[in-house]
A and B are shown apart, each in its own frame.
Chain A
Amino acid sequence: MSWETVIGLEIHAQLATRTKIFSGSSTAFGAPPNTQANLVDLGYPGVLPVLNQQAVKMAVKFGLAVGATVATRSVFARKNYFYPDLPKGYQISQYELPIVEHGKMDILLEDGSSKTIRITRAHLEEDAGKSLHEDFHGFTGIDLNRAGTPLIEIVSEPDMRSAKEAVAYMKKIHTLVRYLDICDGNMQEGSFRCDANVSVRRVGAEKFGTRCEIKNLNSFRFIEKAINYEVARQIELIESGGTVQQQTRLFDPDRGETRALRSKEEANDYRYFPDPDLLPVVLDDLFIDGIRATLPELPDEKAQRLVRDFDLPAYDAGVLTGSREVAEFYEKVINEVKGDAKQNAKLAANWVMGEVLGALNRDGLDITESRVSAEALALLLSRINDATVSGKLAKEVFEAMWSEGKGADDIIDAKGLKQITDVSAIEKVIDEIMAANSKQLADYRSGKDKLFAFFVGQVMKITAGKANPNQVNDLLKKKLAG
C-alpha cells in the first residue's frame, strides 16, 4: 500500500527594516542582550505601538511579486498568550484580515516540469524575544532585542507532496525575498525560517490525514530531514495500527528526529481580537501602484528573458538567476564584455557557472566575496574575444587573478601568456618544425593526414601554447601542402 505526503509551509521572513515594526528600536542583529529594546518593546505600562510604514511597503512588495491580492484594508489583531519573551502577553499579528492573500509560486520539479504552489496568505506580525536556557544556573535569560522585529508569515496551501518539493518552494521564496530586498535571508540568524505542516494519506484518498506541525526549521537541510523523518514516523505509526495525533513537534538536528512539544489539547486558545491600539491599515491604489513601480525584475522573469534573448539553456538561466547576487554578477559581466551579445552570454554563463561558482564553492565564499570581480572577469573574457589570450590559457589567467588579486592584463603580461598572432612569427616556427621533422613532413604529404595534429602539437609546444590556434591551423595547412 503506498502513501502520499502532504506538506504546507508557514515561512517567517524577517523584514529588512532599520527599525522595529511598532517602535523606533534598531533591528540590527547581534547586539548585547536587551540593548535594542525600548519601553515599547519591553511592554511598559502606558506605551503604545505605532506602525512602521516601511514594513507595510515590504509586505505589499512581496504580495505583488507573488501575484497576490493586496488588501486595501487589513487589520492587526492580538494573539494572547503568556511567555516571558513575549513582553505584552500578546503578539501583534494579523488574523482575519491579512495584508496579502491568494498568491502563488512556481517550482521546478526534478523531472523538469513545473508545479504551482498556492500561497494562502502573508501577514505582518512582530517577532518575540528569545529565551536563553543555558548559562543561567537554573534560571532562564530573556533577550528582548528581537522582540518587535517585523516579520511576514507566508502561509502556503498544503500543495507540496515531498520534502524535495517543500525545499524547492522554500528556496524559491528565499530567492524572491532577497531579490525584493525585503529580507536578508540569513537562516542562521533566524531571519528566514519555517514551520512545516506534514501529514500522510493513502494514495487516492480524498481526505487529508491528521497533521503535525514541525516548528522553527532554519536550514534547507533540516527541512528535508525533518519532513522525511516525520513522514516515515507517521507511516510507521499508521501501519502498525496507531493513529497520528495532531501535535506541535520540534526537530532535533543532532538526532535527526522530531519529538512532540505539545498536543492539540494543550494548545493555547489565543483569543484573537482586533488590536484597539492600531487603526486598520488602509491602502489606496496609488500607494500600491507606487510600490509596483519599484519592483525589480523577478527571478522567473529574468530567467525567461535570458532564454529568450540569448538562447541560454533553461538550466543555465535557472542557476544564474538562483540568487539576486549571482544574477547581478552575471549581468554585470555580460554588460561589460565586448563582442557578440549572444556568444558573450553563453561564454559568460560558462565562466560564471564553471570557474567562478566553482572557485567560490572551493573556498567557501559567497558571490559577494568573489576574489575576481564581475568587471575583472569581463575584461578577461574580452581578452579571449580579442585573441589576446586563448580560452585554454585564460583559465590559468583566472586562477592567478583569483589567488593574486591582480587584473587579467597584469597576469598575462607577467606570465607572458599573450597569444602569438603575428603571422611571420608563427610562420617562422612552422618553418623550423618542418625543417626538423622532414620524415613526418614526407609522410604527411604522401597522405597521412593524421600527422596534422602532430604539427599543431609541435607549434604549441614551442610557443608554450600561446600561438593563436586558428592562425596555426590555417598557416600549417598552407605550408604543409607545400
Chain B
Amino acid sequence: MAELHTLTLAELAAGLKSRAFSSVELTRHFLSRIEKFDAELNAFITVTPELALAQAADADMRIATGTASRLTGLPLAHKDIFCTDGVLTTCASKMLSNFISPYDATVVGRLKQEGMVMLGKTNMDEFAMGSSNETSFYGAVKNPWDLAKVPGGSSGGSAAAVAARIAPVATGTDTGGSIRQPAALTSLTGIKPTYGRVSRYGMIAFASSLDQGGVMGLSAEDAALLLQSMAGFDERDSTSVDMPVPDYAATLNQSLKGLKIGLVKEFFEQGLSEENIKPVKEALTVYEQLGAQLVEVSLPNLPLSVPTYYVVAPAECSSNLSRFDGVRFGYRCESPRDLMDLYTRSRGEGFGSEVKRRIMTGTYVLSAGYYDAYYLRAQKIRRLITEEFAAAFQKVDVLMCPTSPTTAFDIGAKVDDPVTMYLNDIYTIGANLAGLPAMSIPCGFLAGLPVGLQIIAGHFAEAKLLNVAHGYQQVTDWHKRMPERYA
C-alpha cells in the first residue's frame, strides 16, 4: 500500500471504510508530517494535535459501530478565517492573535458533525487580503514546489498544506480568487462555489458580497466529497440560498461530449505570451479530444473587474473591520489615555499595512461626495459584468481561461507594488463579482512551477463544474504530481 499522504481523500475514505487503517493512524501520520515539514512551510498558524487525536478516536468508534458518514475519520485543515469553538482563530492578524472563538462556523460545525478530524488552522493573508500570503502577521507561507516562491493567497496556508501532503484536504475562502489562485500556484484542485451555496456564518468577513467558502484538494472528486457536506442553506446566513444540494459524486463521470466551452476573448488577449498560455491551450485540446466544442465569447466589461473589485471589496471591508476596536475582544493597545487613543492605537497597532490600505480605500470610496463616483459606479459595472456572464451562459456550458497571469513568483517580489499584486487576480475576480462557481485545476508546468486552468460555470452549476474537471483528470495526471521533497 502506498504511503497514506499520497492518497486522495476519496482513497483515504475507502481505506477507513475497509479498515485498512484507522483514523488515529491516519491522523498521526499527518500530524507527524506537519511536525516534520511545517517549520519550513509555515502553512499552519495553529496545530491541534490533542484535539485531532481525540476526534480521530471518536471517529474510529463511529466507524466501528457503523454510525460513520462518508467523511468520518478523515483529517482536514481549516483556513484560520473560520471560527472554531475553543480554538485560536486569528485571521492571520495581530488584531485577533488572542482570540479564542466561542463558537464554530457553520462549515466547521457541519464537518465536525460528519466526524472529520481537524488537524489545525492554516495560515493566510491577513483578513484574506492578499494574493501571496505575505501579509500574514504570522509570516509568509512557502510554496512546496519552490520554497523561495509564494504559494499564492489568500488561502496560501491551505494550499501549501495540501500541496505538501501535510493535510489531505483543506477549507479555503475566495473573495477575489483566494482559493483558485493559490490552487493554481501549488497544483491543486480548488473550487469556489456559487455565492450563497456555502454558509458564511462564522467565516470572518472580508467583503461580504464576494466572500465564499470552498475546498482545496487533490482532485475534483475530493472537492466534490467535501463540498457535499459544506454546502446547503443555513438559517443563520440570510445570503445563503435555500436550494437542495445535488449529489455531486453522482454526476462526476458524465460524458463531456457536446460540452460547449466558451473562451473569454478578453482574457486570451491580455498580456499573455504564447509560452505562458501553452499549458492552458493544451488543456483545451484535451477537452476537444473528449468531445467538447470551443466557442469564443466576449465579455467586454470583464477587463473592468479589477478596478470594480478594488472599490467594492475595500468598501465592504472598511465597514466589516470596524468591529475590531479593542473594546470587546481581540488586540487592545497598552494603557489607552482615552477612547480615541484606544481606537487609534488598538487599530493602528493591530492591523497590518495591507489591511489599513484597504480600510482607507474603502472609507474613501464611501465618503460623502465620492460615493456616487466610486461605489455606485462600481456596483453598476458589477451588474453589467453579471449580465454579460449570464448572456455567455446562454451560449456555452462553461467558460475557460487561465487562473493566474503568472506562475508562483518570488517571495518579496511584489510586496511593495500593490497594483501589480492586485493584477494577479485579473482572471478570478469576475466570478466573485457575478457570484458564479469557479474552479482551478492543475494543467501543467512552466519552468517547474504549476499552472492552473480556470473553469467557470453558471449559478449553482457546481455539479457541472466538477464533472468537467473530473473528466479532464480522468485522462491527465497533472493533479497527481507531487513536489518531490514531500512525496
Contacts and interface: CB of A to CB of B under 8 A. Distances in A.
Contact of A142 (B91, B327, B366): B327
Contact of A88 (B202, B322, B329, B330): B322
B327 A45 contact: no
A372 to B, nearest CB: 49
B103 A39 contact: yes
Interface string B71-107: 0000000000011000001010000100101110100
Given A80-B322, A89-B319, A277-B205, 17 more contacts: A43-B323, A44-B329, A45-B83, A45-B91, A45-B101, A45-B324, A45-B329, A48-B201, A48-B236, A80-B366, A87-B327, A88-B323, A89-B322, A90-B322, A271-B371, A278-B238, A279-B239
Contact of B319 (A47, A87, A273): A273
Interface string A69-97: 00000000010101010011110000000
B371 to A, nearest CB: 7
Contacts of A48: 200-201, 236-239
Interface in B385-428: none
Contacts of A46: 82-83, 101, 105, 201-205
Nearest to A271: B366
B270 interface: no
Contacts of A88: 322-323
A43 B330 CA distance: 12
Nearest to B199: A48
7 contacts: A46-B101, A46-B105, A47-B202, A48-B201, A88-B322, A271-B368, A276-B239
A64 interface: no
A480 to B, nearest CB: 87
A232 interface: no
Contacts of A47: 201-202
Interface string A18-43: 00000000000000000000010011
A269 interface: yes
A378 B214 CA distance: 70
A249 B327 CA distance: 27
B363 to A, nearest CB: 7
A49 B238 contact: yes
B11 interface: no
A316 to B, nearest CB: 50
Contacts of B315: 273
B137 to A, nearest CB: 15
B102 A39 contact: yes
Nearest to A76: B238
A49 B203 CA distance: 13
B478 interface: no
Given A45-B99, A51-B238, A273 B366 contact: yes
B239 A45 contact: no
Interface string B150-185: 000000000000000000000000000000000000
A50 interface: yes
B328 A277 contact: no
A77 to B, nearest CB: 10
Q: B interface, by DSSP: helix, strand, loop or mixed? A: loop
B363 A271 contact: yes
A43 B328 contact: yes
B319 A90 contact: yes
User: What 7 A-B pairs have minimum CB-CB distances, sorted nearest first?
Assistant: A89-B322, A271-B366, A276-B209, A276-B208, A46-B202, A43-B323, A46-B83
B343 interface: yes
Contacts of A49: 238
A84 B343 CA distance: 10
A87 B237 CA distance: 19
B237 A82 contact: no
B201 to A, nearest CB: 5
A277 B200 CA distance: 9
A403 B238 CA distance: 56
A246 to B, nearest CB: 15
Q: Which of the four size classes fits the interface of chain A?
A: 20 to 34
Contacts of B32: none
Contacts of B371: 271, 273
A82 B322 contact: yes
Contacts of A140: 339
A84 B328 CA distance: 9
Contacts of B105: 46
Contacts of B99: 45
Nearest to B201: A48
B238 A50 contact: yes
A78 B238 contact: no
Contact of B238 (A39, A80, A84, A279): A279
Contact of B367 (A45, A50, A271): A271
B235 A50 contact: yes
A45 B204 contact: yes
B238 A269 contact: no
A191 to B, nearest CB: 26
A51 B235 CA distance: 10
A368 B386 CA distance: 58
Nearest to A88: B323
B472 interface: no
B266 interface: no
A277 B209 CA distance: 7
B325 interface: yes
B375 interface: yes
A276 B323 contact: no
Contacts of B239: 48, 276-279
Given A47-B201, A277-B239, A82 B343 contact: yes
Contacts of B363: 271
A84 B201 contact: no
A78 B203 CA distance: 20
B316 interface: yes
A46 B321 CA distance: 11
B237 A269 contact: no
A89 B325 contact: yes
Nearest to B316: A276
Interface in B345-371: 363, 366-368, 371
Contacts of A277: 205, 208, 238-239
A94 B330 CA distance: 30
A88 B318 CA distance: 12
A278 B101 CA distance: 23
Interface in B233-258: 235-239
A88 B205 CA distance: 12
B328 A87 contact: yes
A80 to B, nearest CB: 5
Contacts of A87: 323, 327-328
Nearest to B312: A276
Contacts of A271: 318-319, 363, 366-368, 371
B319 A80 contact: yes
Contacts of B316: 276
A51 B321 CA distance: 21
Contacts of A78: 319
A44 B99 CA distance: 10
Contacts of A45: 83, 89, 91, 96, 99, 101, 204, 323-324, 329-330
A172 to B, nearest CB: 35
Contacts of A42: 328
A42 B101 CA distance: 13
Nearest to B368: A269
A403 B452 CA distance: 89
Q: Which among A90, A276, A278 has the highest number of chain B CB atoms within 10 Å?
A: A276
B298 to A, nearest CB: 29
Q: Which among A142, A269, A278 has the highest number of chain B CB atoms within 10 Å?
A: A269
A276 B102 CA distance: 24
Contacts of A80: 318-319, 322, 366
Contacts of B203: 46
A142 B315 CA distance: 28
B129 to A, nearest CB: 15
A44 B318 CA distance: 16
A271 B367 CA distance: 5
A142 B208 CA distance: 28
Nearest to A131: B339
